[in-house]
Amino acid sequence: MFIDFDVVEQAVPALLHGLKITAAVSAIGIPLGILVGTITAYMADAQRWPLRAVALGYVELVRNIPFLIVVYLSFFGLPKLGLLASAFSISIGATAFYTGGYFCEILRAAFRSVAKGQVRAALSLGLSDWQVQRHVVVPQIFGFLIPPTVSLAMMMFKDTAVFSVMSLPELTYQSNLMTADTFAYLEVLGTTALIYWGCSVVMEVLGHAMETRVRRWSHQ
Amino acid sequence: MNDWLTAHGALTPFYAGVIQGAGVTVYTSSLAFVIGLALGVGLLVVRATGGGIARAVIAVYVSAMRGTPLLIQLLVAYYVLPSLLGISISPIAAGILALALNTAAYISEILRGALSTIPRGQAAAARALGLQPTQVWRHVLLPQLFHRAVPPLTNEYTVLLKASSLLSIIAVTELATVARNATLQSDLPLQVFTATAVVYFLMLWCASSVSRVIERYFARLLPNVH
């Protein structure tokens, strides 16, 4: 065989170390983005037009600009505005910013799946806004939300590879260091790809499991 | 504020390259989309009609393409493939190849979703009327498939247009590379990347306008489908 397993063995510890940072950025950035997306989704349906304009402008911005440009803007642009932060926190911020725009769209589509009459009926029965969300809207959209949210999370998890360009020592960066050291492109890139692939498959399987559970729960 | 005004002159290196860069971005993503569409249809037909082994191979291929970052796929296409095959490959060719192989997997999934909405009886009825399997695909299934898949397919094209910015990492001189070089020359990252974002925004806005035209065309072509 022409695969050099010694190199693979040598590369794995460094790659797994990089995976920790990839995982940390994803595990903090993506939920943060979901929070941002939730807030902006409610803003997009708000009564006041400035709130709506900000939310919709934000979504259009994220959907129409490549992640790489967002990353460049945050890494090179923020320091110029006097905002100095570590590569790790800027990465988390950029991930959250981008996730938020997409999640806002997902949530808005989910809101539309609940008939407007239900919300009006619940309000006329005397439920507060909060109670309408808690007892009428959210239980119905939960099953609807999971598949697109899982694919969004997978997309952003993979997109964190872009931070290697900014020297965040995550998985792809470690892989680049190893290939520069050993020139064993096949072995190192292959191992890196397998690690990413494995994580994606795990996320997909967990997503499916969650979907079945929620579906069973909402049919009761 | 004064910074922003004087920046106008400093943006010259960006203006000089922006048209060519945007051209390369559109060219690479469009070519990759066309190749990916052809491959995606092929993958779909094999997956729908082929044997167990072919189906399993395609399922693994799709999962691998969707489960790994495009950046890694680009690096593999640029560094690993040439040495494996013993050929030399230009950065732009490697980029287009990786984009096409990546989008083919997503397109085959989009088309598979669309295929599942066509009643199974249609293909059976067409066969019973004496059409050959190729004729069934050509005249019955594929036209309806494309009609249903136009919105997600055009969305996939916009995804590809955005993703093609990663080609800058294997030294293809597309829009993101032009922007990066312009910031190195002018040290005005905010202005240059904001301008870049505007250019991407306009390109994607045009793409989604064209997609609405295509949708209307298909709606006229097949008025009675649904």
Asked whether the beta carbons of residue A197 and residue B79 sit closer than 8 angstroms, the reply is no
CA distance B142 to B148: 10
| A71 residue type, one letter | V
Whether residue B68 and residue A64 make contact (CB cut-off 8 A), yes or no, is no
Which of B168, B183, B197 has its CB closest to that of A65?
B197
What is the rounded distance in angstroms from the CA atom of residue A29 to the CA atom of residue A16? 19
Q: What is the mean pLDDT of chain A?
A: 92
**Residue of B110 and B2 predicted with greater confidence:** B110
In tens, the pLDDT along B5-50 reads: 555 666 787 888 899 999 999 999 999 999 999 999 999 999 988 8
Return the C-alpha torsion angle B222, B224, B225, B226, nearest 10.
150
* Nearest to B41, CA basis, from B106, B96, B99, B94: B106
Asked if CATH classification 1.20.1050.10 holds for the domain at B2-119+149-221, the reply, yes or no, is no
Q: Identify which of A68, A190, A192 has the shortest CB distance to residue B165.
A: A68
pLDDT band at A143; cut points 50, 70, 90: confident
For residue B159, which residues of chain A lie inside 8 Å, CB to CB?
Answer: none
Specify whether the CB–CB gap between B166 and B71 falls below 8 A. yes
Are the beta carbons of B69 and A66 separated by less than 8 Å?
no
- Would you say B96 and B32 are in contact if contact means Cβ atoms under 8 Å apart? yes
Q: Which of B69, B196, B204 sits opposite A196 (nearest CB)?
A: B69
The complex's ipTM works out to: 0.90
What confidence score (pLDDT) does residue B184 get?
A: 86
Q: What is the pLDDT of residue B3?
A: 58
Q: Does the distance separating the beta carbons of A175 and B80 come in below 8 Å?
A: no
Q: Are B124 and B158 contacting, i.e. CB atoms less than 8 angstroms apart?
A: no
Q: Is B40:B108 a contact under the CB 8 Å cutoff? A: yes
Nearest CB to B69 within list A61, A66, A159: A159
Query: Helix crossing, A49-63 with A5-44: angle to 10°?
Result: 160
DSSP per-residue string spanning chain A: ----HHHHHHHHHHHHHHHHHHHHHHHHHHHHHHHHHHHHHHHHT-SSHHHHHHHHHHHHHHHTS-HHHHHHIIIIIHHHTT----HHHHHHHHHHHHHHHHHHHHHHHHHHTS-HHHHHHHHHTT--HHHIIIIIIHHHHHHHHHHHHHHHHHHHHHHGGGGGGGT--SHHHHHHHHHHHH--HHHHHHHHHHHHHHHHHHHHHHHHHHHHHHHHHHH-
Q: What is the pLDDT of residues B178-220, one digit of tens each?
A: 999 888 888 888 889 999 999 999 999 998 888 888 888 877 8
Q: What is the pTM of this model?
A: 0.90
From chain A, pick out residues whose CB is under 8 angstroms from the CB of B169: 165
Contacts of B166 in chain A (CB under 8 A): 68, 162
pLDDT (tens digit per residue) in B99-135? 999 999 999 999 999 998 888 888 889 999 999 988 9
Given a cut of 80, whether residue B221 has pLDDT beyond it is no
Tell me the domains of chain A and their CATH numbers: 5-219 (1.10.3720.10)
Q: Which residue, among B193, B199, B209, would best test binding to A if mutated, counting the most A CBs under 10 Å from its CB?
A: B193
The domain spans of chain B are 2-119+149-221
Ranges of beta strands (E only) in B82-124 are: none
- Using CB atoms, which residue from A159, A162, A189 is nearest to B75? A189
Q: How far apart are CA B44 and CA B39, in angstroms?
A: 9
Nearest CA in chain B to A184: B80
CA distance B43 to chain A (A): 20
Q: Do B72 and A73 touch (CB under 8 A)?
A: no
